[in-house]
């Protein structure tokens, strides 16, 4: 969805056309890549609510960049917490090239996307991160060591066969 004044009008028209469908979804980026603009969140959520639609926000360009006062994402920053049904993001853009991603939503929705074993592993990993800073500090120390070594290998002219 374009981050402009036409977004609301376009959303309203499309939602009206979609009334014949059982499920309606408004999907937008949390922040738009080239200029950092964000969605008109209150209007999008208001329109979605009026038309019985779910709201999906793709945080791939906002994760690690835009956050609210308690480190929530775009929905907290733009004051629509609780009105966004699905949030997903990549861990590979603003977070320095990590792989993977996440989807946040109600349990039944997430269980459609991820098998229970994966959800269990992710849940345990997140609990470990929340319980202690040990893993975070260890990763930071390894990054401090690894980055200069790889930088020198790449920039310094050294390369593996």
Q: What is the pLDDT of residue 64?
A: 65
Tens-digit pLDDT profile for residues 43-99 = 888 888 989 999 988 887 777 666 677 767 777 777 788 888 888 887 766 666 667
What is the arithmetic mean of pLDDT over 96-115?
A: 76
Looking at domain 1-106, its CATH architecture is 3-Layer(aba) Sandwich (3.40)
Q: Please state, in angstroms and as integers, the Cα–Cα distance from residue 158 to each residue in 142, 146, 148, 161, following that order.
A: 21, 15, 13, 10
User: Tokens 């990054």 correspond to what residue?
Assistant: 143
What is the arithmetic mean of pLDDT over 103-123?
A: 79
Q: What is the pLDDT of residue 152?
A: 72
Q: Cα separation of 74 and 62, whole Å?
A: 7
Q: What is the pLDDT of residue 114?
A: 72
Q: Cα separation of 59 and 126, whole Å?
A: 19
For residues 122 and 39, the model is more confident at 122
Q: Cα separation of 146 and 154, whole Å?
A: 12
For residues 71 and 118, the model is more confident at 118
Mean predicted lDDT score pLDDT of the chain:
76
Q: What is the pLDDT of residue 126?
A: 78
Confidence check: pLDDT of 139 > 70: yes
């Amino acid at each position: 969805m374009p981050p402009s004044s036409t977004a609301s009008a376009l959303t309203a028209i499309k939602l009206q056309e979609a009334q014949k469908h059982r499920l309606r979804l408004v999907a937008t980026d949390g922040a738009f890549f080239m200029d950092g603009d964000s969605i008109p969140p209150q209007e999008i959520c208001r329109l979605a609510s009026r038309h019985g639609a779910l709201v999906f926000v793709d945080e791939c360009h906002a994760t690690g960049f835009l956050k609210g006062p308690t480190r929530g994402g775009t929905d907290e920053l733009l004051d629509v917490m609780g009105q966004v049904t699905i949030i997903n993001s990549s861990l590979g853009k603003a977070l320095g090239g990590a792989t993977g991603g996440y989807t946040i939503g109600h349990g039944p929705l997430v269980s459609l996307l991820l098998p229970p074993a994966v959800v269990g592993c992710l849940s345990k990993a997140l609990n470990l991160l929340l319980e202690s800073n040990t893993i975070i500090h260890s990763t930071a120390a390894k990054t401090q060591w690894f980055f200069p070594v790889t930088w020198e290998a790449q920039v310094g002219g050294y390369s593996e066969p």
